[in-house]
Structure 1
């Protein structure tokens, strides 16, 4: 049963990240002599898509940098520590410890607004995030000099910079 759970968890995790805002229950190994503990952890996942300053462009998928900063301040004040998928997999597969109040911050689609607005806020709070990009768009915007914060996507150079910071885990939303 444990082997099946370990095989299914990465798939369930990917689905949870895709759906956002759900609690993920991981599998914790318990020895027969150990006192009973709750099985797994509760992991809130907070999902975003796009961040813009223009009030007229804000909607349920696009928030302002100020709103994002406010969300990060709330997480910090409430004692949450952001983790990435690699941290969760290390917990499940190797028993690596997680912070007392883990949370996963995710961004879908790979909009360049992440690099412009979100990345500086993550650095300010020393928070990690998962950034799921569309590979074809990274190819496209790396090849042309057509950048507009409303619609452009992160370039491979921006992705490399963010990955190298240790705060941003780049994941695959899709290629095309």
Structure 2
């Protein structure tokens, strides 16, 4: 009786205070490997090797991302300690450094490709020939738009209708190029999509869903039955965040059981700092929330399952987030991250 699985998950979660073993997974997101002149987006090779060794030595199963998504969509059980590895932008160092390491272990991964730089044969990006060779060995390639323009930003004097035509065409162009160069495998279900820069707003997320994609952002957290399929979380990995202790903590994390986040809209206009209300599936003790710099944020409980969190100062221009965690026992943590975008 598959339809009872979500209810069973919620019942057990409510009564035990910890997640069911087969209900969640963690997705990691990388960009560059061993390109030390780009520390904000590159991971050092010794850091990457240490992470892979840790996963292998601690019983983690590395699954294809689409397999994890399929299990969640169909409420099918996931093995405990299941993770996926994803890479954005198709830089050449993926082919030179990440692929040999992952291939040697027999581990799958997904590359989200912004296709215009590849078509232009820009230096520092993989070629279609290299991607075809990787695809034959089981690497999955998915849509990251053609242009890599932010989907949350409007051009000067651009109407909503004009924005939608432009963004839709951008996604469709990328999908067409993936199909032309990599064949029908790029059309396999579920269709996966990653937002450029991890930036989206409600209109962008709704468009991605309407076009038949499962969306991925760059906000932190594990994914589970309650996660919003328009913008599933991934833990970004780069030199600054790649130390083994926090990596291990993230690999073992569980999704904070958030039924509703209000406002869900990441884009901040006049309400800065934003006030976020989270409705939980169950009461949880020990929740704490932090800003992007790791500083604690004031938290107010409205009742047993609803809390509000709001920064005391205006969020700076650009990408921001509120991160909320709670102890889950056995040294593990529930984790939820809400992204914010500030124009000025």
Q: Given the two structures, how large is their TM-score scaled by the length of structure 2? A: 0.36
Partner of 1:119: 99
CA contact (8 A) 1:83 1:128 kept: yes
User: CA 1:33–1:77 in structure 2 vs 1: closer, same or farther (change >3 Å)?
Assistant: closer
Q: 1:161 aligns with which of 125, 129, 133?
A: 133
Partner of 2:63: 83
* Offset of residue 29 of structure 1: 3.6
Partner of 2:27: 45
User: Whole-Å Cα distance in 1 between the matches of residues 94 and 82 of structure 2?
Assistant: 22
Q: 1:171 aligns with which of 142, 150, 166?
A: 142
User: Whole-Å Cα distance in 2 between the matches of residues 32 and 75 of structure 1?
Assistant: 28
Partner of 1:6: none
Alignment of 1:32-71 (within 5 A): 36-38=11-13, 41-52=23-34, 55=36, 57=37, 59-71=39-51
User: Whole-Å Cα distance in 1 between the matches of residues 119 and 6 of structure 2?
Assistant: 52
CA contact (8 A) 1:87 1:98 kept: no
Q: Is the strand fraction higher in 1 or 2?
A: 2
Higher relative contact order structure (alpha carbons within 8 Å, sequence separation ≥ 6): 1
Q: 1:101 aligns with which of 71, 81, 95?
A: 81
Unaligned runs of 5+ residues in structure 1 are 1-27
- Aligned to 1:47, the other structure's residue is in SS state strand
* Offset of residue 90 of structure 1: 2.4
* Offset of residue 175 of structure 1: 0.7
User: Whole-Å Cα distance in 1 between the matches of residues 58 and 6 of structure 2?
Assistant: 35
Q: CA RMSD in A?
A: 2.8
User: Whole-Å Cα distance in 2 between the matches of residues 71 and 32 of structure 1?
Assistant: 32
| 1:30 is aligned to 2:12 | no
User: Whole-Å Cα distance in 1 between the matches of residues 115 and 88 of structure 2?
Assistant: 12
* Offset of residue 58 of structure 1: 5.1
| 1:139 is aligned to 2:119 | yes
CA contact (8 A) 1:133 1:170 kept: yes
Partner of 1:12: none
Q: Deviations over 1:93-125 (max 9, x none)?
A: 445553331111111111010000000000112
* Offset of residue 52 of structure 1: 2.0
* Offset of residue 37 of structure 1: 4.0
Q: Is the helix fraction higher in 1 or 2?
A: 1
The higher radius of gyration belongs to 2
Q: Given the two structures, how large is their TM-score scaled by the length of structure 1? A: 0.67
User: CA 1:162–1:96 in structure 2 vs 1: closer, same or farther (change >3 Å)?
Assistant: farther
User: Whole-Å Cα distance in 2 between the matches of residues 175 and 107 of structure 1?
Assistant: 16
